Amino acid sequence: MNTTHTQTIAGIAYSEPEVCLLHSTPLVNAEIAARTAYDSFDLSEHEQVRDFNHYAVPDIPGSKLLHQLSHVYFHHSVLEHISFTFDISNTSRGVLQELSRHRIASYTVRSTRYTMSRIINLFLADMLHNYSNTHPSDWFLSEGLNLKLFVTSEPEYNFIQLTDIWQKLKYQWTRIGEDAFLDLSTTKSIRISYDEYSHNHDQFYSAAIQAKQKRNVGDNFKHIVNDNWSTDLVMTINLRSLKNFLELRDSGAAYFQMQWLAKTMKSYIDDRYLSLIERK
């Protein structure tokens, strides 16, 4: 993982995403695909390709043919035989919306519906000693900041977002009532702790975060999520689609968070593959 950095855009500080390249397909796969297409194994500069006999072969340091197909003849379909899998963390829900436009890729995303319990438990703890207030307590805001829910990195701004979450949940609490809210958000063991520690919100919160969480808690509370909500994902994309992705997103015209992601992903790609993405 790379070290997290922050940048300030239009007065708001954001943390940049963290990226790890988990896997890349050997370049030789695309070379063999290209040689198959043109029936030209004997012309390869690599002995293992010239002698290819339908068995796996060692990787190659580069490919003149692939370079020509990528930049001269634009036969990009052979690049689809190379794929990359990236682990991406601390990116935003806003970036997820942008990524969905790159259809030839596979995404597995940390599920909000299964991971929202932290903020719900914090809200419930705050209600134990802040029931009649119309604003969150300082305790809620301080603890909420520790949850690192957002890609924005300024405490003052994140307090605004946490206050917005608290007010949305308080509105819902008021609309459906305490019992219905607890039924939607807690397991039996958390509900017992809620009753047992009704006069000590710290003890309840400690017990709640250690208890088994309600499996699909996010189903009824996704309305609290905004575009700055931090999420993690694993992304697999073939080289042809990655070439298109970087051409569009490593550009000053792209959404700034997408630019950061594209540049960070690019920094992990070996020069052998980059030479097929960018003509140098």
Q: Break the chain into its structural domains and give their ranges.
A: 13-111+228-277, 117-220
Compute the average pLDDT of residues 260-265: 96
CATH architecture group of domain 13-111+228-277: 2-Layer Sandwich (3.30)
If pLDDT is split at 50, 70 and 90, which confidence band does 113 have? confident
Q: Is the pLDDT of residue 3 over 80?
A: no
Per-residue pLDDT tens digits for 141-160: 999 999 999 999 999 999 99
Q: Is the pLDDT of residue 2 over 70?
A: no
Predicted local distance difference test score (pLDDT) of residue 248: 95
- Residues 96 and 109 sit within 8 Å (Cβ to Cβ): yes
Per-residue pLDDT tens digits for 31-62: 999 999 999 999 999 999 999 999 999 999 99
Compute the average pLDDT of residues 65-90: 95
Paired strand residues for 236: 85, 106
Q: Would the pTM count as exceeding 0.75?
A: yes
Q: Is the pLDDT of residue 214 over 60?
A: yes
CA–CA distance, 92 with 14 (Å, rounded to integer):
10
Predicted local distance difference test score (pLDDT) of residue 1: 47
